[in-house]
Homo-oligomer: A and B are copies of this chain.
Amino acid sequence: MAQRIAIIGTGNVAWHLARTLENAGHLIVHIYSRDAAKAKNFGLDFFNASTGDSTDLRSVDAFIFIMAISDDAIQQVAQSLQLPENAVLCHTSGTRPLLDLGYASTEHIGVFYPLQTFSKGKRVDFSEIPICVEGDTQFAHESLTQLAHSISGNVQEVNSAQRKVLHLAAVFACNFTNHMFTISKEILENGNLNFDILKPLIAETLNKSFELGPENAQTGPAVRGDLETLDRQHELLTNQPELAEIYRQISQHIIDTYEE
List A residues at the B interface (Cβ < 8 Å).
Answer: 71-72, 95, 115-117, 119, 122, 124, 128-130, 154, 156, 158, 161-162, 164-185, 187-188, 190-193, 195, 197-206, 208-210, 212-215, 217-223, 226, 228-229, 232-233, 236-237, 242-243, 245-247, 249-250, 252-254, 256-257
Contact flag A156-B197 (CB < 8 Å), given A180-B180, A182-B214, A213-B185: yes
Min CB distance A260 to B, Å, is 12
Contact B177 A205 (CB under 8 A): yes
Contact A256 B233 (CB under 8 A): no
Q: Which chain B residues lie closer than 8 Å to A204 at the CB level?
A: 116-117, 124
Min CB distance A16 to B, Å, is 12
Report which of B130, B169, B219 forms a contact with A188, defined as CB distance below 8 A.
B169
Q: Which chain B residues lie closer than 8 Å to A229 at the CB level?
A: 71, 95
Q: Would you give 23 A-B contacts (Cβ < 8 Å), ordered by A?
A: A95-B221, A95-B229, A116-B200, A116-B201, A116-B204, A117-B208, A117-B219, A161-B191, A165-B236, A166-B197, A166-B198, A167-B233, A169-B188, A170-B184, A173-B198, A175-B219, A175-B254, A178-B219, A179-B214, A182-B214, A185-B214, A185-B215, A243-B253
List 10 tightest A-B contacts by C-beta distance, closest first: A175-B220, A165-B191, A181-B214, A173-B184, A182-B214, A172-B184, A169-B184, A174-B205, A169-B187, A169-B188
Q: Which chain B residues lie closer than 8 Å to A181 at the CB level?
A: 172-173, 177, 209, 214
Contact A214 B178 (CB under 8 A): yes
For residue A220, which residue of chain B has the nearest CB?
A: B175
Most buried by B among A129, A179, A200, A237: A179
Report which of B179, B203, B232 forms a contact with A250, defined as CB distance below 8 A.
B179
Contact flag A221-B171 (CB < 8 Å), given A71-B229, A117-B205, A192-B162: yes
Contact B179 A233 (CB under 8 A): no
For residue A181, which residue of chain B has the nearest CB?
A: B214
Q: Which chain B residues lie closer than 8 Å to A165 at the CB level?
A: 187-188, 190-191, 193, 236
Contact B200 A154 (CB under 8 A): yes
Task: Report how far A165 CA is from B218 CA in the complex, Å.
Answer: 20
Q: Which chain B residues lie closer than 8 Å to A215 at the CB level?
A: 182, 185
Q: Which chain B residues lie closer than 8 Å to A173 at the CB level?
A: 180-181, 184, 198, 201-202, 205
